[in-house]
């Protein structure tokens, strides 16, 4: 069997890439639709938490790195089309899907901090899975997902007054979580 027979065609690889991207866009859209049901009210919450929402320009500040990545990902297939002999329609569909994803990144978001969880991007994060980045950016809050390494940043957007209140609530929730972990028998046995 020749080596060429074992390789997938460039159109097959392009179709697979477009399908994966389509699933990612649908997945993110699903989670974004949940944010209003998860966070129905804005401001002080009855359980001592705090909820706020961002505006479009604040999401640009929050997502600037992702926006730059999207621009590169939209341009890259066009440079490779002739070299790979791939149909240009795959690049068109790729760019349409990335444009939809880009729009979803810029849609104003709702966030909430409670004693037990952070609500962001339609998802709920347990405080045990998060930590504050040591150096905080000026116009957003940067949390890191434990165990994700460089792929774990979780930026939060909003007005400076909302971020000030949210940061204090986040610090309080993380401090309570740390004290809870330090007081468990397993943690004290290891010392």
DSSP codes joined into one string, 48-76: S-EEEE--HHHHHHHTHHHHHHHHHHHHH
> Edge-to-edge strand order for the sheet containing 141-145?
130-132, 141-145, 153-156
pLDDT digits (tens, 9 = 90+) for 52-103: 999 888 888 888 888 888 888 888 888 888 778 888 898 999 999 999 999 9
Give yes or no for residue 117 having a pLDDT over 90. Answer: yes
Nearest to 91 by CA among 75, 69, 106: 75
How many other β-carbons are positioned within 10 Å of the β-carbon of residue 21?
18
Q: Could you tell me the pLDDT band of residue 46, with boundaries at 50, 70 and 90?
A: confident
Tell whether 1 is covered by a domain.
no
How far is it, in rounded angstroms, from Cα 128 to Cα 74?
36
C-alpha 172, offset from chain centre: 23
Contact between residue 138 and residue 159 where contact means Cβ atoms under 8 Å apart: no
pLDDT at 36: 85
Instruction: Determine the structural domain holding residue 34 and report its residue range.
Output: 10-190
How far is it, in rounded angstroms, from Cα 75 to Cα 102?
14
Tell whether 4 is covered by a domain.
no
Domains held by the chain: number:
1
Tell whether 59 is covered by a domain.
yes
Tell whether 5 is covered by a domain.
no
Give yes or no for residue 190 having a pLDDT over 80. Answer: no
pLDDT digits (tens, 9 = 90+) for 143-161: 999 988 777 888 899 999 9
Phi, psi of 34 (to 5 degrees): -80, -15
Q: Counting every residue, how long is the chain?
A: 191
């Amino acid at each position: 069997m020749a080596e060429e027979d074992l390789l997938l065609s460039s159109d097959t690889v392009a179709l697979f890439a477009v399908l994966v991207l389509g699933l990612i866009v649908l997945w993110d859209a699903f989670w974004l639709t949940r944010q209003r049901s998860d966070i129905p009210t804005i401001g002080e919450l009855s359980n001592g938490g705090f909820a706020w929402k961002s505006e479009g320009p604040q999401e640009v500040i929050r997502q600037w790195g992702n926006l730059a990545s999207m621009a590169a990902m939209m341009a890259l297939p066009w440079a490779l089309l002739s070299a790979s002999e791939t149909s240009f329609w795959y690049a068109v569909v790729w760019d349409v899907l990335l444009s939809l994803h880009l729009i979803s990144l810029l849609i104003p978001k709702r966030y909430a901090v409670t004693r037990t969880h952070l609500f962001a991007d339609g998802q709920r994060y347990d405080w045990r899975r998060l930590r504050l980045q040591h150096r905080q950016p000026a116009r957003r809050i940067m949390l890191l997902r434990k165990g994700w390494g460089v792929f774990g940043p979780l930026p939060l957007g909003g007005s400076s007054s909302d971020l000030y209140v949210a940061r204090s609530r986040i610090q309080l929730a993380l401090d309570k979580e740390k004290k809870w972990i330090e007081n468990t028998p397993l943690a004290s046995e290891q010392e």
